[in-house]
Amino acid sequence: MPHIPLSPDLPGIRGAMAFRPETARPLNALVEVLMTGPSTLSRGERELIATYVSSRNCTHYCHSIHGAIAAAHLGGDEALVKQVKADFTQAAVSAKLKALLTIAGKVQQDGKLVTAADVEAARKLGATDLEIHDTVLIAAAFCMYNRYVDGLGTEQPEDEALYRERGKRVARDGYVQVSAEYLASDADAAHAGGIDGAH
């Protein structure tokens, strides 16, 4: 049971976003630019970073949905996503992405753990300043999204098929468009004070 009344039809962050559309807007805008905006890191690579950090934070909803989005971007390669979660050093990803995942793993614990040597290692493998910046911010942002989802006690379904299906849609349409379907209607309900998900 969530700690506050969230729509039972909207698991994970979706219920929280529908509850408070005013904060949902910038939360969605941030994830949209970080994960789908123009970048020299592929969408699949960025989703792997988000999945890895969410997995480290043990947030089932986030590592499942972002793992599914990553897989959708990576030709359906769910085994690769699982390998990154379990031990990315053994995964079939580029040496550059491994160096960025190392930085992300440190940010997940504490930003101060990132050393000049970590950054040098990534740079030697071709990482740009912008890629290092975005890696740090993706890792930091998922420390927020994960805590938000867990801290409200949201519903986090076990059904893998549910994530697989939605992951494909988010990979295709992006975050803002996919969330519009519940944010638009729930925004009215929230402003009217009737947040009960009964629609």
* CB-based contact 161:75 (threshold 8 Å): no
Cβ within 8 Å of residue 165, ≥6 positions away: none
Kindly state the DSSP code that residue 150 receives in the 8-state scheme: H
Q: Which stretch binds other proteins (CB under 8 A): 24-32, 68-76, 165-173, 177-185?
A: 24-32
Question: Counting contacts by CB under 8 A, is residue 34 touching other proteins?
Answer: yes
Among 75, 92, 112, 192, binds other proteins (CB under 8 A): 112
* Contacts made by residues 130-133, CB under 8 angstroms, sequence distance 24+: 130/39, 130/40, 131/39, 131/40, 131/41, 131/100, 132/100, 132/103
Angle, CA 75 vertex, CA 166 and CA 87 arms, to 5°: 90
Q: Nearer to other proteins by C-beta: 119 or 162?
A: 119
Q: Which of 41, 74, 84, 149 touches other proteins (CB under 8 A)?
A: 149
Among 41, 68, 71, 103, binds other proteins (CB under 8 A): 103
- Chain positions 38 to 77 lying near other proteins, rule: CB under 8 A, are 57-59
Binding site for other proteins (CB under 8 A): 1, 3-5, 16, 19-20, 22-23, 25-27, 29-30, 33-34, 37, 57-59, 103, 106-108, 110-112, 114, 116, 119, 129-130, 132-134, 136-137, 139-141, 143-153, 195
